[in-house]
A and B are shown apart, each in its own frame.
Chain A
Amino acid sequence: MHLDEFLAPKILIVSGKGGVGKTTVAAALAVVAARHGHRVCIAEVDRKGTMPKLFGATDIDYKPREMSPGIYGMSIVPDEALAEYLDVQYHMKRVSRVFTSSHFVDYITATAPGLKDILVLGKIWYLEQGRTGPQFDTIILDAPAAGHMLTFLSAPMGLSDAVRAGPLHRQADWLVQMLRDPRRARVHLVTLAEEMPISETLETMEVLHNRIQIDTGPVFANAVYPAHLTTADVKRMDEILDDGALDELTTAAEAVGLRLEDEDLQALAGYARFITARRAIQVKHLRKLKQGTQDPIVELPFLFTAGLALPGVEEIADSIEEGVAKL
């Protein structure tokens, strides 16, 4: 697939179960789009605050701020979105302390189911329309974790039920149109090659297609251990270990002037067995994922890190580009 096609919808929604690396993938997608010359905005919706850290930026808030060249970050907070909505729709400035109290927001968003989500999606709609403020070619929504994301995306459909007329009803319809148009919006699910995240991904996918009717794109299978060893390598290693013929490795090492102690051989075998066993589990689960979905799967490598930083994001971006090119 050409990147033009991949980046055609302006809105890319990234979601997945907690702990699968959703934010890293959202950031990497932004890097891919920015490298392609797009002006990108990443919108975080749950105030996690990890996004700016990835780009080495300070905090982000409701107003989009450039975190790195061509990549803007913002945090969509329902309170702010409500205040903006009241201002735009009803020319109501936040004159009273009441309107800023968190109870007010809780109350008003509790009265109508999903109003909070509508306000957030409404902000995305504003950004997409680009009538005021900064213009973006790509808007990446770092969406809530999978379970909540479904409630989040179905909010506009649910609201037109609860509020049957008036501006809010009309606006909910606009959002439904936006979400259901594959030229405008697409969901990318992120998963790990493990039991729980994959079964959750498949369940989520079904609801996305059937109930929400939103387009889905390649699924990103994150943190897949690379194939450092081929099947033949593993077979040969097992032979050596089974026969207790470790001296064959010691001999090979000595030929290049390397002395391997017993402890070193244990470590080499230990790590080799570990990656082989974990990869086998991952491959098994990836097969299940492939069987369960029509969407292509892009595997992203485990980076052998234990934290988030920009170099890692760039590497993931490389893998996304490679993976997409192969589709």
Chain B
Amino acid sequence: MNPIGEILSSKEIIVCAGSGGVGKTTTSAAIALRAAMEGKKAAVLTIDPAKRLASSLGLKELSNEPRKVSVRKFTAAGIEPKGELWAMMLDTKSTFDSIVERYASTEEQVEKILNNRFYRNISGTLSGTQEYMAMEKLYELYADGDYDLIVIDTPPTRNALDFLDAPNRMTDFLDSKVLKWFLIPYMKAGGGLFKVANVAASTFLRLVKKIVGAEVLDDTAEFFANLEGMYDGFKQRARDVAHLLQSDATTFIVVTSPAEESVDEATFFATRLNGSGLHFGALVVNRVHPRWGDEIEVRDRQLARLQQSDGDGPLLAKLIFNERAFRKVTTLEDRNLNSLARKVPRHRWVRVPYLEQEAVDLSGLVLIGDQLIAG
């Protein structure tokens, strides 16, 4: 059985990772659809889908819950899945809001945090937030137990590894000893800088005040004061997510193209997965140029004579010239892929060649799903 088929028959969570522009989102959607075709109730959690892909999945806006792709859409595409496909586009901010609601002990605490200006600034932008919220959502969906399979697309990060580290980065920030050390005295001193006894703390606070102004500092201090008691919830959830990702239910699919940069990143990522106790399920190699037979041996002199001959000679010369160009790129791709094979065994690979059509609708996704199972 090919790696994707194996994963579909044994796993409940699939995390698709890889660098930007390699077809991660399309791959995630195609896998979820494939599972639905086979009779599963599958959900795909996307982060940043292209408009047409989103609309073919029936996604018009960010949402916090998956929506079922309608039978009407399937019928229009001439598809009859035995199962169900659910899809959602992550809304980072409202996921964050709902976490605050869950861990806060009083209504008042919720209100205070949600209306805090510092919170409003960071809830969408603080580094690691999107990743943390994606994992949070994944955990919720899994814990609800409604789906046979959940496929999650990862946020576009500078490099694929950021996504593994990001949730910790966020919780570390919120729980920073440095911050508590400085801000709690500030709060206790009622916002008066000079009442803060700790010299280093007061230097720090004065500096921050100079740069961003007192108002901002007050907002921030208020936020952290209100967040007290909630860190434990955040951290516990981060630990639970980490356990889930390491469990037998989960596997990672690394998506790459044969281009050097993306291969380097995929290699690095696959190696890192193994080192982190995470299950590496498959490597999907997208955008591979097709290959036909071996290089045609033609001397430049013969090519020149063809160009000058009449009849189909010039056409043949162009065809050979074109073939040579493709041999050049396929040779380079093979070189990159061979170096990848030294780190990731080929029996875990699935190659998806360039299709002659683009997969932006449901029937296109079915085609990709077929390739993923066959490749």
Q: Is the CB of B302 within 8 A of A18?
A: no
- Whether A304 and B325, one on each chain, are in contact in the complex, defined by CB atoms closer than 8 angstroms, is yes
Flag whether A325 is at the interface (Cβ < 8 A).
no
A266 within 8 A of B: yes
Given contacts A98-B178, A111-B220, contact A92 B318 (CB under 8 A): no
Q: Determine, out of A55-63, A66-74, A161-169, A173-181, the stretch whose residues face the partner at the interface.
A: A161-169
Answer yes or no: B98 CB below 8 A from chain A CBs.
no
Inter-subunit contact B216/A264 (CB<8 Å): no
Proximity bits, A41-78, B CB within 8 Å = 1, else 0: 00000111010000000000000000000000000000
A277 close to B (CB within 8 Å):
yes
Per the CB 8 Å criterion, the residue count for chain B at the interface is: 78
CB atoms of A196 and B156 under 8 A apart: no
B118 at the interface (CB under 8 A from A): yes
Contact partners of B229 in chain A: CB under 8 A: none
Assembly CA distance A108 to B210 (angstroms): 11
Q: Are B292 and A19 in touch, CB under 8 angstroms?
A: no
Asked whether B271 is an interface residue with its Cβ less than 8 Å from the other chain, the reply is no
- Chain B residues lying within 8 Å of A98, measured Cβ to Cβ, are 178, 200, 204
Interface residues of A in 108-156 (CB under 8 A from B): 108, 110-113, 115, 145, 147, 151
Q: Are A103 and B203 in contact (CB under 8 A)?
A: no
Tell whether, in the assembled complex, residue A274 and residue B354 are in contact, meaning their CB atoms are under 8 Å apart: yes
Q: B262 touching A233 by the CB < 8 A rule?
A: no
Q: A275-B326, A281-B358 are in contact. List 4 more A-B contacts (CB 8 A).
A: A96-B203, A104-B204, A162-B216, A274-B290
Contacts of B122 in A (CB 8 A): 110
Scoring A residues 236 to 268 as 1 if CB is less than 8 Å from chain B, else 0, what string do you get?
Answer: 110010000000110111011110100110111
- In the complex the two chains form, is B20's CB within 8 Å of A194's CB? no
* A interface, CB within 8 angstroms of B: 17-20, 46-48, 50, 86, 90, 92, 96, 98, 101, 103-104, 106-108, 110-113, 115, 145, 147, 151, 162-166, 168, 192, 194-197, 199-200, 226, 228-229, 233, 236-237, 240, 248-249, 251-253, 255-258, 260, 263-264, 266-272, 274-275, 277-278, 281, 304-308
A20 to B261, CA, bound (A): 12
Secondary structure of the A side of the interface?
helix
B258 in contact with A258 (CB, 8 Å): no
CB 8 Å contact bits of B262-302 with A (1 = contact, 0 = none): 10000000000000000000000000011011101010001
Contact B126 A256 (CB under 8 A): no
A60 to chain B, nearest CB (A): 16
Contact partner, A268, options B19, B159, B323, Cβ 8 Å: B323
Residue-wise, chain B 298-339 has the 8 Å CB interface mask toward A (1 for contact) of 100010011001011101101111110110110011011000
Inter-subunit contact B208/A106 (CB<8 Å):
no
